[in-house]
Structure 1
Amino acid sequence: MLKTLDRMLFLVAVFSLLFAQTVGASDGAEVLDIKKGEIILTIKNSNSLQNQVKEWLSSVNGTVGSLKIEPSEGIAIKIPLMPPYKVNYDWITGTVTEVVMFISPSKTYFPTLLVFTKEEGLVAVHVKNHSLKTFLKKNKLFNPELNLAEPPLR
């Protein structure tokens, strides 16, 4: 249990450093190139962006079964929810303030949504990918090398 807590605290510290130039929630999402460690795009906040996150949250199909939450390459999309969004789903309950979507080209790493809530802290989940490709194309982030597959059922 202590190793898991240490790992989660480490991740929070890493995110704070990676997104040190955080824009306000009204400015929208930041897209990070994980390998380069730099922000490559800012997506303007909009109802469409906020609704996309709500759709991801409603399509959670399981928790991440590994302590390796972040990939070594690919992209991370940090999206603050404005206003915070209250959810009560199987794997997530609470007021979601922010999410980070990780997508990697690795065939063994499946898209992972890191969800930050006021009550529970954070939880890493997998989502159904039916809208992920559309979202990436719309925001000029789609790369056919990215693994958008859903993880096999456990």
Structure 2
Amino acid sequence: MSKKISIITVLIVMFFHTVNVHAEKFRYAEIFNPKQNKVEKVIQVNTELHGMVVEWIKNINGIYGKNDPLTDDGYAVKIPLEPAVKVHGKYLNALVNEVYIIIPENDPPFFMIFEDENRLCCFPFTGDIDLLSRVLEFNLKTNR
């Protein structure tokens, strides 16, 4: 009888004892190849990549002037920003939680950013492709 009571007591304690588990939400950057229509590489966003991209978008200094910026060559790099970044500038005033860096083969690279109201805006890329390639451990060079 005491064996049954001790087993039941252990089961009750196990059942009612809660364990708080805090899962860290990982965000991943994706390098997409439009020619092959596939994601070439997935990389966990680290503080170096996050800080680099935030610095670049805070220094946007113009609007991308091409009428149809989409291309079917080169690479597109999707970088989520967690936490989201509030940018107050002449050309961009938005809470940015995701940045796309488009790197066409024959045109200059540019940012694609969705503003707060999901309005797509394109801006010239002011960063360093070589540095981005090193951080992503992927050669983003194109035939320019």
Structure 2 length-normalised TM? 0.74
Aligned residue number for residue 91 of structure 2: 91
Aligned-residue offset at 1:52: 1.7
Provide the secondary structure at the position in 2 that maps to 1:85: strand
Q: Which has the larger radius of gyration?
A: 2
Aligned residue number for residue 115 of structure 1: 113
Structure 1 segments, 4+ long, off by >6 Å, are none
CA distance in 2, matches of 1:48, 1:144: 20
Is 1:44 the equivalent of 2:41? no
Query: How many pairs were matched up?
Result: 120
CA distance in 2, matches of 1:74, 1:139: 16
Aligned residue number for residue 10 of structure 1: none
| Structure 2 unmatched runs, 5+ | 1-24
Provide the secondary structure at the position in 2 that maps to 1:55: helix
Q: Which residue identity does 1:140 align to in structure 2?
A: E
| Structure 1 unmatched runs, 5+ | 1-24, 148-154
Contact residue 29 and residue 45 of structure 2 kept, 8 A: yes
Structure 1 length-normalised TM? 0.70
Pick from 109, 130, 139 the counterpart of residue 142 of structure 1.
Answer: 139
Aligned-residue offset at 1:29: 0.5
Provide the secondary structure at the position in 2 that maps to 1:26: coil
Give the aligned CA root-mean-square deviation in angstroms: 1.8
Provide the secondary structure at the position in 1 that maps to 2:26: helix
Q: Which residue identity does 1:138 align to in structure 2?
A: V
Q: Which residue identity does 2:136 align to in structure 1?
A: N
Q: 1:32-53, CA deviations, whole angstroms, 9 ceiling, x for partnerless residues?
A: 0011110010111211121121
Aligned-residue offset at 1:76: 0.2
Contact residue 94 and residue 120 of structure 1 kept, 8 A: no
Provide the secondary structure at the position in 1 that maps to 2:54: helix
Aligned-residue offset at 1:146: 4.4
